[in-house]
Structure 1
Amino acid sequence: MRVPALLSDEDLVVALRVQQTGAFEEVVARYGARVLNTCLGMLPQRADAEDVTQEVFVEVYGQLTAFRGDAKLSTWVYRIAVNKCLEWQRYRKRQKRFAFFTSLFGVDSNVPTHDLPDFEHPGVLAERREQASILLQAVAQLPERQQAAFTLFHLEGLPHSEIAEALSLSVGAVESLLFRAKASLRQRLGAYYRENMSD
């Protein structure tokens, strides 16, 4: 018997652990778009976001036995998504540093360079994508935890309590991260931030 779509997350975890037919497919159906949105918020290149989304669900599948159920399934999936995005960013930074040094010494490099991303987020209207791209370029310059908290709060609409669980922080720490992120973005973007982002 396949897993019904209306199954609760708790019962879905049980179905996953006993490898019930269709259980993992239901997880992907339930959280695939949300994970992609989160990845697009942290990795505006759509191809990168799609690759990382696939990696997220590979890890979800591989780590099911390690999921203890002390957090919501959605929170656990978001935690994996954020960590995978941060790993990807670090990888890209290493690529860019390598490309920079090889260019100094005249060594040919096939490492791609990235300027403004080809931004395409399903939650952003087409006419505002250029503005959103500018904003997310600035978000990408924030420290990792600020960037993750900002993305989960503003793009995914998660409450502070769930962000805290996803990032393994206290609610107060999340509030502090969001405050510092907003202050930094206001300084970087000035009038643009005030016009396009609300608290």
Structure 2
Amino acid sequence: MRDKMTDLFEEMVIEHGKAIFNYIFSLVKHKELAEDLYQEVLTSAYLAFNSVKEPAKLKSWLFTIAGNKCRDYWRKENKAKQFWKEEVYSYSSIVEAPPLPEEEVLHKDSAKKMEETVMSLPEIYKSAIFLYYFKDFTLLEISKRSNIPISTVKTRMKRGKEHLRPKLQSLA
């Protein structure tokens, strides 16, 4: 025997289901993916249906769930893409042939000139740029180490790069 809640949910799906599917499809532009996400939306909506306090807002509630499911999908997709980019990059660096001795000398020389150029910056910019590019610190680590907000670190990095640009163009 079906309960009243299931009947109400079914009515809601009949009334708003097509609009929800079309909304998801318009976001992801892929029919099979839209169908999968639509099923996830319906499952989530069904599980949370008894928590809806205002039946008049069911349609917007469903659209919110649909938008969140699409956002979750994109977030997962971007993480997977980033992982593969990083993996491909790390494997490609292993497979590459070792640099020729003259290339190594040129690289060391340009790295030394780059470091000297960074060290000629005003102190306020120099430390953030040096720690980030030469010591591989994260912005958060620089923020904690310098005891300044991360937004200040970002600003100093940006302004430091602006100071570096003309100096580096003269090296090229």
TM-score norm. by structure 1 comes to 0.41
Instruction: With a CA cutoff of 8 Å and minimum separation of 6, indicate the structure with the bigger relative contact order.
Output: 1
TM-score norm. by structure 2 comes to 0.47
Please identify the structure whose Cα radius of gyration is greater. 2
- Give the number of the structure whose residues are more often helix, by fraction: 2
